[in-house]
Each structure stands twice: as C-alpha cells, then as structure tokens.
C-alpha cells in the first residue's frame, strides 16, 4: 500500500560521495555497506519490545538489512549493485521513498528494494535500465515523509522472482525463503 501523506520535505546541504565503491561481482548499495552500523539484520525477529530501534512500530522477521547513516546533513547516495531494469519508484507506507529494480543474481531473477530514499533524487524512472554502480538516488532525510518518519538509513532487500514485494517484515520464518540475504551476495 502506498502512503499519500503530506509532510515537510527537506533540502540537501552537500554531497560528499560521488562514486560507488566496487565490490567483487556486485557494487555496494551504499559506501558503508560493509563497515556501517547495522541495527536490524536479515531474518531477525523484531517486536516493539525487543527492537534495537525505539519506538518500534513493526513485528515480524526482517526481510532485509538496515544500514544506518548518522550523517544527517549529507546526501548519501545509493547505488545499483548490478545491471537491471527499474520496476517501481514511489512512496510506500513504512518506507517513504522506494526504488525497486529487477536483475539477475546467481542465474536467478530477483527484485532489489531500496527503502527510505528521497524520490526527488531518483536518477532512473520505471522501465529504464540501470548499470552496476549507477547512482540511483540519495537516502531520505530523517523524520520526514521521504523516510516515512524513520531515522536515516537504507533498508536493502533482495526478493526472489520478478514480482514487486514491499514487505519489510513477514510473520512466518518460512516466508523468508522468498528473500535472499545480502550476506550471501555482497561480501
């Protein structure tokens, strides 16, 4: 479901990271993907009581990884990890801005979701091709509509198949088999 709520938008102050870091067969989705703080990992069961983020509004098994970004006054770009085609760009409740593209990983069609982005910064539209390392957008500003009121971070998930899947949490652990852990792809 999409959210059409109006909230203040932010303006960027500077951009410091201009090129994506290369990482073996795949590019990193954000420059600090391997070194940054991760508060929620793939498959972690989250509740309002046990969440490392408070207050927490979700319950379930986390379908992606959250990479934290504490540089709130800096534009932080997100990058395509591989070649593909943009399938969705828009607002989604729980994320704010979302960009999803379809690609192939290990000979399997997947969709990759980038959540909590500033949609006005998106460099590609639905149907356009992306190449490994392309800048796709920047992370949204914290506590604005572009992050659906959340902190500044990237929710990054890889879903098997070509269907667009927005869920950041699933209720049954067995449903996680429809996603691929980024740890199995980007090392």
Kindly tell me if the per-residue pLDDT of 169 is higher than 90: yes
Residues 116-147: tens digit of each pLDDT? 999 999 999 999 999 999 999 999 999 999 99
pLDDT at 24 over 80: no
pLDDT of residue 72: 80
Cα distances (angstroms) measured from residue 136 to each of 44, 52, 75, 123, 164:
27, 28, 12, 5, 18
Tokens of 98: 């979302």
pLDDT, tens digit (0-9, with 9 covering 90-100), for 67-98: 998 888 899 999 999 999 999 999 999 999 99
Quick one: pLDDT band at residue 187, thresholds 50, 70, 90?
Answer: confident
Residue identified by tokens 């109006």 is 6
Distance CA 164, CA 102 (A): 9
């Amino acid at each position: 479901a999409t959210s059409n709520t109006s909230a203040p938008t932010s303006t960027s102050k500077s951009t410091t990271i201009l090129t994506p870091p290369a990482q073996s067969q795949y590019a990193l989705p954000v420059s600090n993907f391997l070194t940054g703080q991760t508060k929620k990992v793939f498959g972690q069961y989250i509740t309002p009581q046990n969440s490392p983020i408070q207050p927490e509004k979700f319950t379930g098994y986390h379908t992606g990884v959250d990479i934290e970004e504490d540089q709130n006054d800096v534009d932080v770009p997100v990058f395509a990890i591989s070649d593909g085609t943009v399938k969705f760009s828009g607002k989604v409740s729980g994320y704010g801005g979302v960009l999803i593209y379809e690609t192939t990983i290990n000979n399997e069609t997947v969709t990759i979701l980038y959540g909590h982005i500033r949609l006005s910064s998106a460099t590609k539209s639905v149907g356009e091709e992306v190449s490994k390392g392309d800048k796709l957008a920047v992370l949204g500003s914290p506590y604005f509509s572009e992050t659906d009121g959340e902190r500044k971070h990237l929710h990054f998930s890889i879903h098997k198949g070509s269907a667009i899947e927005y869920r950041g949490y699933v209720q049954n652990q067995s449903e996680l088999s429809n996603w691929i852990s980024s740890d199995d792809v980007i090392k």
